[in-house]
Structures are given as structure tokens and as C-alpha cells.
Amino acid sequence: MDPLEMMKNGVPETFYLTLSAMLFAIGVAGFMIRRNIITVFMCIELMLNAVNLSFITFAHQHKQVSGHLFAFFVMVVAAAEAAVGLAIILTVFKNRSTLNIDEINTLKN
Amino acid sequence: MDLFFFSLFAFIALICAVNVVLQKHPISSALSLVGVMASLAVLYLLLGAEFVAMSQVIVYAGAVMVLFVFVIMLLNAGIEVHHGRSWMAKLLGFPAFLAILGLLCFFVQRGFPNVGSVRFGDWEGGGAQQVGYALFTEYLLPFEVTSVLILIAIIGAIVLARKELD
Amino acid sequence: MEFLVITLIKLALITFIFMTTLAYLQWVERKVIAHVQVRMGPSRVGPHGLLQPLADVIKLITKEGVMPPHVNGGYYLLAPFLAVFMALISISIIPFGGAIDIPAIQLAGKTFGPYHTMMELASVNMGVLMILAVSSMGVYGIALAGWSSNNKYALLGGLRSSAQMISYELPMSLAIASPLLTAGSLQLRGIADSQAGFYLGFVPKWAIFQMPAPQIFAFIIFMIAAFAETNRIPFDLPEAENELVAGFHVEYSSMTFASFFMAEYANMVTVCSVGTLLFLGGWQPLWPAALGSNFVAPAIFLGAGLICLYHGLNPARPFDRYTLPVFAVVFFGLAGLMAFPPLVPVLTPLFWFLAKVGFLLFVFIWIRATLPRFRYDQLMSFAWKFLFPAALLNLLVTGFLVALVP
């Protein structure tokens, strides 16, 4: 069906998927270019959110609740990950008193 | 009406997402990320996922991001400093980003050309009852495994962040 | 169209009443604390200080809003807006009573109505979750205010408040979850309706008495967590004036300061309404209408009017001779309104709801006048070592009872 035709009775699901893809790409870009370890972590959360949007859209497409549950599990895992990750950041800051990932390179050389 | 709400909140989400990447101060990035999460919650509501929308706000915007803001305030993280970066990265970064974005959008459009459309209220399968039923029957094992994972995360966070007992 | 007009009318009414309540809650608080401490309280502006809130509002509006040069501009202004927005938004989904039916009216050859509407602004399927979501977003206002002020006291206040609110949200959510198990609904109106009825003809089926699992402990945990969530004494660490000057709002003045104050009182009202709806049966009366619960409201107002009249005729202070009879007339009018038969089905549930909310608000003020402040480590260990396990245990026991008792 033509997207313009479909827009008359709602928003095409492709739009949601495209939005999700765009958010994911922005998250990847942020992950690459940012140097603050907390911001890098936030870009990972952004990518997880983008994936969640895809899950919910597919759940709507197949009219099944499973997609919601995957999104729910992603959320729970992200919360656990945030707790551990921020604890690691705190420890790193305590030991090296910097948040710049360029300066945390003891293992490199 | 659906298209209006979708466009509005998709626009807010995109602007905030770009802001997350471009802002220099971590607090600004964190608040923009809260904006992304809130507008995604509205989009979930449009998609009929009431329960996930609410837990998105409670868990992500209300707990995880508060934790981020708390840590940023605690460490008093300032504006980030950039060290020298190769001219190639500066030159190729943005075109490469655009290329990846274009490719992703192209594949999405190609892969799902006519998957139907979303109208608010045409599918009510995402209520608390349906989600709860599926969670405790079909997905019971993942649910239990997740609870163990959270326990491990709690212990890990405590071990990492506690003060050394001399 | 009709729906839109009715909703706009309700919106205007609720906004007006809610804002007035917020202003006068301050007056009530000062009066109650004063009487607990054997003082007079505000008594200069207007009779019994009744115009004091108005004077305060005028003072706060006309004062110069000072913005210190060292603050972080945008966030400094965003913070009070966020706090007050998140505090006010949750009142829109709280139901106050049953349905209002207005019969059809013939006016100028046209028939208007009949109208049928519920006493609430919006009916949300996920009402309870939405309240939790909005209240969990409220912490940003305080945390941002603390951070953007660029002031060590404000930063400490903001840090304390975000840690405190994350910690007390857990026992609060768990305490809210247990009556949901017996109610079987997430809609606030559905929850209140599920508590209708009486045991043995006179014991109300409110969640704190409801049979398979009485939620009295959940109610106590909820109230304790509510004190912490609204930053009230004994948990007002974020604004402890003798340690942190004024905590997160030390750099604020004029209207920005007033909005933090308004947010605190709005949060109090919301939390008390949620407690009433979840645990105290919403607008269900304390005893059945067959035993005369419909006459409580007129009787109370009649009594109040008679007391005012008596003291007006035997005045203790000179101006009581003129003011108290006016109050007596107002109370008699309210009593007449409450007893007027066509209005009884509308006003009686509203009266019971407001009476319960008012009682909980009084408890808030009473405790503020009574208890000292916690120490910070006591606050945290109380949340994590006592309140959280207690709420978890309560949820577990409730779950077992609901599942096992048919």
C-alpha cells in the first residue's frame, strides 16, 4: 500500500521503525564522539530506548504482547546495568579523579 | 490527529536525542535524555502499550536518570574537554554518520514496506492484565532469571561503591 | 462539543478550588501549629487572620525576583516550573466522588441536557501507575534547583532530596501494590468502588479493614513514605534550615520561591488523596446510610454554626461580636446545602472524601508540630533496613492471603 494512502487511517508503522533507527544512529554517533564516561553511558541508554521502540512497534504489528515483555526486560536489565555502571564510574573517579575516557588508558600501553 | 501527535513527539524525541550528543555538559545531556524518554512514553501510549509507557516513565525517567543526575551532581562533573583528534575523524565523521543513518532508514523502509498503520485505540492488548498474565505464564523463567540478575547487580553495586573498611 | 464544555467547566472549577485550597492550607497549618504550641497564630490580617494567605500571595508576587549572578540561568528558572508542574498535574486524574446528573432544562425554547459527568477530570486506566510516574518525575525540580544554584548548601539539599526520594519511592510503591491485589484494578475510581459495602452491617470494607488481608500496615508504611516524598518534617532533610540554611531553594526569591512552596503543598494534597482512595475507601462513608451516615455532614456544619453563634453572642474579644455570626450563617448555609435532598447523592460522597483528605492533611500538620528531624544516616537506614523489608513482607503476606483465602 502507498504510505500516503495509509496515512489517512493512522500513522504507518514504518514511521515508528524509522524513528527508532534514527535514534539508534544518533546514539551510536554519541557513543563514538563523546569523551565523558557518563555521557557515553547515556548514549548506550539512548540506543536501548531506540530498540525498545522497535519492540513495541513490532508488538503492535503482530498484535502480540510479547514485544512489550521484551521491552520490559530490556528496561529491567538497563536499570541493573545503570546501577553497576554508575558504581564503576564512581570507583574510577575515586581512583583516578577524571571522567575523561581518553585519560583512562592504563591497559593500553 | 494521530499523525499530528506522532510528528510532534517524534520531533521532540529527535531534537532531544541530538541534544544528548551535542551538549557539552553532562547535566544537559541527562535532561535531554529524560525528554527523549518522556516523548517515547507518549509514543508507546499511541502504540497501545499502556503498561510499558508507564514503566518507561517510572523506571527510566524516574529512577535510572535520577541516578545519573545524582552521580553527575555528586562527582561535580564539568564541561568535557576534547583532546586532539585526527583530522580524518573530523572530516569523515559527519558524512559517515549520515551514510549509516540513510542506510538504516533505507533498510527499514525496504524491509517493512507495508506493515499496516497505527491508530490510537485500535489495539488494547498492552494493559497491565495482559502483560501480567504473559509475564507469569509464558515468560516466567526469564522473569525469575531477571530477578537473579538484579540481585547480582545490587550486590555488585554495593561491593563496588562501598568505602574500604580498614 | 458537550464533553468539551463540561470538561472546561470542571477544569476551571477544580483549578480555582485547588489553588485556593493550597493558599489556605498554609493558613490552616500555621493556625494548627500555633494552637498545638499554645499560641494564637496569624490573627492580624482580617478576622482570625483569614486574609493572611491573600496578603502572602500579594507580597510574593510584588517582591523583586532576584536572580543571583552565579547561577546556571536556564536550569535555575526551569527547576521551579518543573516542580510545580509535576505537583499540579496529578490532581487531574484523582476522582472526588460519584456521578453528577443534571436533568434536562428548558431555556429559551431549547432543551439543554440531560448531562451526566463523573467527579474527576480524566479517568485513566493506569491511574495508580500514572501517579507514581508523575511523582517520580517531581524529584528533577528539586535536584535541578540544588545543582543550578551553584551554592554548596543548595547542592547538598538537592543531593539529599534525590537520594531520599529514590529510597522512599520503593517502600511507597510496594505499599501501594498490596491494596491493588485485593482491589484488582489500576483505575483509581475502580479501586475506590471496590471498597464499597460493609461487614456485619456496620464495619466498612475499606482496604485497611478488608477481609482476606487488612492493609493497615501498608497504610502506615505509605504514610511514612509519603512524609519523606513530600519533604515534610520529620524527613525535611533537603531544606533543614539549621544545617543547610534553606536547602535547595536558598537562592530563590519571589515567585520562584513561591512555586516550590506551592509544589510542596500540592504534593501533600495529592498524596493524601491517593492514600484516601487506596486505603480509606475514597468517598465510601464510615457507616452505612441506613444508620444515618447521610446526616453527618449537616449535623457537623449545624454544630459548627451553633458554636460560632454562641461565641458570637458571648464574645471573648471585641471583634468576635461581628465576625462569628457571619461564620455561623455560612455554616448554616452549608448545612442546609448538605441536607437539600436533590444534592445529597452528589455532596455526601464529596463530603466524605474531603473529610478523609482533610484528616490526613491534619495528621501531616500535627506531626510537623510534634516530631523533631531525623539525622541523615538514620533516615537512610530507616528506609532500607526497616521500611523496605516491612513493605516487602506485607506484600508477600497479602499475596498469600489473597491467593489462598477464597
Average pLDDT (A43-65) is 89
Comparing alpha-carbon positions, the chain A residue that sits nearest to B45 is A56
Which amino acid is residue C314, in one-letter code? N
pLDDT score of B141? 92
A and C touch with 3+ CB pairs <8 Å, answer no
Q: Are A6 and B18 within 8 A, CB to CB? A: no
Residues of A in contact with B33 (CB under 8 A): 42, 45-46
Residues of C in contact with B127 (CB under 8 A): 125
Partner B contacted by C169 (CB < 8 A): yes
The residue count for chain B? 166
Mean pLDDT of all residues in chain A?
83
Pull the grid cell for residue C73. Answer: 540561568
Enumerate residues 78 to 117 of chain B having a beta carbon within 8 A of any beta carbon in chain A.
80-83, 93, 97, 100-101, 104-105, 108-109, 112-117
Question: B1-78 has which CATH code?
Answer: 1.20.120.1200
Partner B contacted by C186 (CB < 8 A): yes
- Range in C29-33, C38-42, C237-241, C288-292 the model is least confident about: C237-241
- Cα separation of the two ends of chain B: 63
* Chains with at least 3 CB pairs less than 8 angstroms from chain A: B
Q: Which residues of chain B have pLDDT under 50?
A: none
Q: Are C146 and B73 within 8 A, CB to CB? A: yes
Q: How far apart are CA C49 and CA C208, in angstroms?
A: 37
Contact B55, C129 (CB under 8 A): yes
Average pLDDT (C381-394) is 90
Q: Are C143 and B127 within 8 A, CB to CB? A: no
Comparing alpha-carbon positions, the chain B residue that sits nearest to C157 is B73
Average pLDDT (C187-195) is 86
Instruction: Map residue A12 onto helix, strand or coil.
Output: strand
Partner A contacted by B139 (CB < 8 A): yes
pLDDT score of C390? 92
Instruction: Give yes or no for residue A1 having a pLDDT over 60.
Output: no
Average pLDDT (C177-181) is 87
Report domain extents, chain A: 3-96
Secondary element (H or E) of residue A74: helix A66-96
pLDDT score of C198? 81
Q: Which residues contact B79 (CB under 8 A, 6 or more apart)?
A: B24, B25
Instruction: Map residue A39 onto helix, strand or coil.
Output: helix
Q: How far is B109 from chain C (nearest CA, A)?
A: 34
Report domain extents, chain B: 1-78, 125-166
Q: How far is C132 from chain B (nearest CA, A)?
A: 7
Tell me the pLDDT tens digit for each residue of C283-306. Answer: 888 887 777 777 888 888 888 888
Q: How far apart are CA A109 and CA A103, in angstroms?
A: 12
3-class DSSP string for chain C: CHHHHHHHHHHHHHHHHHHHHHHHHHHHHHHHHHHHCCCCCCCCCCHHHCCHHHHHHHHHHHCCCCCCCCCCHHHHHHHHHHHHHHHHHHHHHCCCCCEEEECCEEECCEEECCEEEECCCCCCCCHHHHHHHHHHHCHHHHHHHHHHCCCHHHHHHHHHHHHHHHHHHHHHHHHHHHHHHHHCCCCHHHHHHCCCCEECCCEECCCCCCCCCCCHHHHHHHHHHHHHHCCCCCCCHHHCHHHHCCHHHCCCCHHHHHHHHHHHHHHHHHHHHHHHHHHCCCCCCCCCHHHCHHHHHHHHHHHHHHHHHHHHHCCCCCCHHHHHHHHHHHHHHHHHHHHCHHHHHHHHHHHHHHHHHHHHHHHHHHHHHHCCCCCHHHHHHHHHHHHHHHHHHHHHHHHHHHHHCC
Instruction: Give yes or no for residue C312 having a pLDDT over 70.
Output: yes
Partner B contacted by A12 (CB < 8 A): yes
- Contacts by C52-55 with C-beta closer than 8 Å and gap 24+? C52/C27, C53/C23, C53/C24, C53/C26, C53/C27, C54/C23
Instruction: Give yes or no for residue A3 having a pLDDT over 60.
Output: no
Place of cell 494564637: C40
Partner B contacted by A101 (CB < 8 A): no
Q: What is the maximum alpha-carbon separation in chain B?
A: 64
Contact C82, C144 (CB under 8 A): yes
Tell me the pLDDT tens digit for each residue of C223-239. Answer: 999 988 888 878 877 67
Q: How far apart are CA C233 and CA C228, in angstroms?
A: 8
Partner B contacted by C166 (CB < 8 A): yes
- Range in A19-23, A31-35, B66-70 the model is least confident about: A31-35
Residues of A in contact with B29 (CB under 8 A): 39, 42
Report domain extents, chain C: 16-62, 66-95+122-284+340-404
Instruction: Give yes or no for residue C386 having a pLDDT over 80.
Output: yes
| Chain A with chain B: Cβ pairs closer than 8 A | 240
Q: How far is CA C248 from CA A107, B72, C150, in A?
A: 41, 16, 10
pLDDT score of A4? 60
ipTM: 0.85
Q: Which of B20, B80, B131 sits opposite A69 (nearest CB)?
A: B131
- Range in A27-31, A50-54, B25-29, C199-203 the model is least confident about: C199-203
Residues of B in contact with A39 (CB under 8 A): 20, 26, 29, 80
What proportions of chain A, in percent to the nearest 5, are helix, strand and coil? 75, 5, 20
Contact C98, C90 (CB under 8 A): no
pLDDT score of C119? 80
pLDDT score of C368? 87
Residue scoring higher pLDDT (C343 or A53): A53
Of C181, A68, A9, the residue nearest B50 (C-alpha): A68
pLDDT score of C240? 67
Instruction: Give yes or no for residue C250 having a pLDDT over 80.
Output: no
- Range in C58-67, C85-94, C101-110 the model is least confident about: C101-110
What whole-number percentage of chain C has pLDDT above 70? 98
Highest mean pLDDT among A87-91, C161-165, C177-181, C359-363: C359-363
Question: A3-96 has which CATH code?
Answer: 1.10.287.3510
CB burial of residue C246 (10 Å; 0-12, 13-18, 19+): middle
Q: How far is C84 from chain B (nearest CA, A)?
A: 16
Mean pLDDT of all residues in chain C?
84
pLDDT score of C208? 82
